[in-house]
Amino acid sequence: MSRPFRQVDVFTTIPYQGNPVAVVLDGAGLDDDAMRAFARWTNLSETTFVLPPTSPAADYRVRIFTPSSELPFAGHPTLGTCHAWLAERPASARPARIVQECGVGLVPLRQTPDGLAFAAPPLRRSGPVEGPLVARISAMLGITPDDVVAAQWVDNGPGWVAVLLEHAESVLALRPRGVDLNLGVVGPWPPGSETAFEVRAFMPMGDATIEDPVTGSLNASLAQWLLRTGRASAPYTASQGSVLHRAGRIHISTDADGTVWVAGGTVTCLSGAAEL
């Protein structure tokens, strides 16, 4: 069966400079095995399937798959799926506010001058990282525990643990090995720089360590931590993907009630049909 399909680059307005996501716009009738098989075939960090919502408050429901597992939430697939869903509708019928249903519940999205934005979901786990784990993470990153300014659990679905280093240059210099958990690293750029922070995301895949080009879920939870502790002030922009020759830009803002919004550009790179 032919199903409408788009591949969307996220956190960029320049094609092939962000993080791609594959979006199957009609996932109705597909079972879990079919979704997993297609996600393995695309071999992207995430593939999504759009389904009718089960909540009357949602515009659509999405399931998010990596090549090896299903995620309850992920940031760049959220923006990329919303971009693809909107692109299927006439411009006059595209709402300014959208509600996505996914594994963590309802996620509001809105259109902003910086691109589509999602409201950061609540953290499932927070709090400081214990000393032995800081030491183990430091060894994975090839640094010493004294190089770590702070470390915090910032899990909003994928299981992120975050490490703050003193400088953005220190983040760019990392060459990690043996990473066995989803690990985010952030460091500030000097005042007056193009972006406020440099971010990198590392995760295990089998025995290998892979790096995600631009990571919405991590930047959402990093923002919640950095803003709460006074290490950042909104609005700010983070850069990610530099080591991978990408130019991801993540725009962070807040509402008066403290809601953190994560925005970025989205652009369709491929469109057509998938046989599923």
CA 238 to chain centre: 13
**Using CA atoms, how far apart are residues 64 and 190, in angstroms rounded to an integer?**
36
- What's the CA dihedral at 79, 84, 87, 88 to 10 degrees? -140
Beta bridge partners, 87, equal none
- Residue 265 contacts residue 250 (beta carbons within 8 Å): no
What values do phi and psi take at 203, rounded to 5? -150, 155
**Through-space distance between the first and last CA atoms of the chain, rounded to whole angstroms:** 5
Take residue 164 and report the two structure tokens written for it: 């703050």
Q: Return the structure tokens found at 119.
A: 């409201």
- Measured CA to CA, the distance from residue 83 to residue 81 in angstroms comes to 5
The one catalytic residue among 46, 70, 169, 198:
46
194 catalytic per annotation: no
Q: Which segments within the chain are labelled E, that is strand?
A: 2-10, 19-24, 47-51, 60-65, 70-71, 97-102, 105-112, 115-119, 125-128, 148-155, 161-165, 183-188, 197-205, 208-212, 236-240, 248-254, 260-264, 266-275
* Residues annotated as part of the active site: 46
